[in-house]
Amino acid sequence: MAGMQPRSSEITDERTFMRRRGFIKAAGAIAAGAVASRALAADSAVATNTSAERRILVHEGEVLHSQATPPWLVPKLREAVPGNFSTNESATPYEYVSQYNNFYEFGTDKGDPVENARDFNSEPWTLEVTGEADRTGKFNLEDILKPHALEERIYRLRCVEAWSMVVPWIGFPLADLIRRFEPNSNAKFVRFETLFDPQQMPGQRSRFTAIDYPYVEGLRIDEAVNELAFVAIGLYGRSLPPQNGAPLRLVVPWKYGFKSIKSIARISFLRERPKTTWELSNSREYGFYANVNPEVDHPRWSQGSERRLPGSLFSRSRTETLMFNGYAPQVAHLYTGMNLKRNF
């Protein structure tokens, strides 16, 4: 798995996934998607959001909702090179990656984010760094990204709801960013916080929310500097759409997707383990570690297998879930001696 791997355009038909503004979309993917939406609705290991799957087809021929890429970012995206640890599995069609999302700040339906984030403005963007580090303060996005050469990593994404995707992210190692802030010896954990902006994020002003905002996630410091942990600023060669977490999101491929926090506005280095959003909301179902583990079921469903999007009428793409989502060679040592059923 390690080593120089082909870019997404080399392992799958790029035309299937790219649209206007430099990308062309193949009509065949839409036909496959129509079949997929029916098949996905029939597969119910976990309650699925079929309205979002149908809505993917509604956007045929439209320009996908996305922020205007800052001019200074365009050449950096173009210069991204194939990175390490990419899977050779076929990437999930762009339609699904960009339109089938969990991002409660923009609504709880899988199709809500692409609709409700269309006017989201992430330019300018400020990242605040606090806590046990020698370099703290507020930094604008351009200054954050300027020193980092970008790479493409094609990672598996496994949702706790037992569906999965394969996504070609553009970004850089989280470890490289953390080193720039020079955390001191007291820093044992890294806390991440999503932007809190109820005016732009309708889910944050809803009376009927299952979670408290701002959204918070966290990693142990050794997890954060692991070679797989990744800061994504784009996917499929373009900047991140708002519904996918523009302009900065975390990608932690050996953990369930809710650990990969979106639209990061604050990073804090802490002595004590932070309480995370879903852990606070329902600690019986969502733990701090959230490692993909087929041997530890969710209280309401099995985690032994997953539904790989998009699937088809004749193949529902049900596949066996791998320990640590298949990334055990890179991360298993982080949990040596731990009871992973208790520390879920």
The residue among 274, 245, 313 whose CA lies nearest residue 131 is 274
Q: What is the CATH number of the domain that holds 268?
A: 3.90.420.10
The residue among 337, 211, 221, 215 whose CA lies nearest residue 283 is 211
Between 48 and 138, where is the model more confident?
A: 138
Provide the domain count of the chain.
1
Main-chain phi, psi angles of 300, to 5 degrees = -110, 0
How much is the pLDDT for 2?
42
233's CB contacts (< 8 A; 6+ apart) are: 73, 145, 150, 170, 171, 239, 240, 247, 248
pTM of the entire predicted model? 0.83
Q: Which residue has the tokens 């300027």?
A: 146
Q: What is the C-alpha radius of gyration for the chain, rounded to an integer number of angstroms?
A: 19
Kindly state whether residue 342 falls inside one of the protein's structural domains: no
Kindly state whether residue 1 falls inside one of the protein's structural domains: no
Range of weakest confidence among 13-27, 113-127, 167-181, 321-335: 13-27
Kindly state whether residue 340 falls inside one of the protein's structural domains: no
Kindly state whether residue 222 falls inside one of the protein's structural domains: yes
Confidence band for 314, pLDDT divided at 50, 70 and 90? low
How much is the pLDDT for 250?
98
Q: What mean pLDDT value characterizes the chain? A: 85
Kindly state whether residue 16 falls inside one of the protein's structural domains: yes
DSSP classification of residue 52:
H
Instruction: Tell me the C-alpha distance between 222 and 226, whole Å.
Output: 6
Instruction: Tell me the C-alpha distance between 10 and 244, whole Å.
Output: 23
Kindly state whether residue 292 falls inside one of the protein's structural domains: yes
Could you write out the DSSP letters of every residue in 270-296?
Answer: ESSPPPPHHHHH-TTT--SS-B--TTS
pLDDT digits 0-9 by tens, 102-151: 999 999 999 999 999 999 999 999 999 999 999 999 999 999 999 999 99
pLDDT digits 0-9 by tens, 158-195: 999 999 999 999 999 999 999 999 999 999 999 999 99
How much is the pLDDT for 164?
98
Query: Domain range spanning residue 329?
Result: 8-335
* Angle at CA of residue 276, ends 253 and 101, nearest 5°: 50
Kindly state whether residue 213 falls inside one of the protein's structural domains: yes
Residue 58 scores a pLDDT above 90: no
Kindly state whether residue 278 falls inside one of the protein's structural domains: yes
Residue 254 scores a pLDDT above 90: yes
How much is the pLDDT for 138?
98
CA distances in angstroms from 85 to 151, 192, 230, 331, listed in the order given:
11, 24, 11, 12
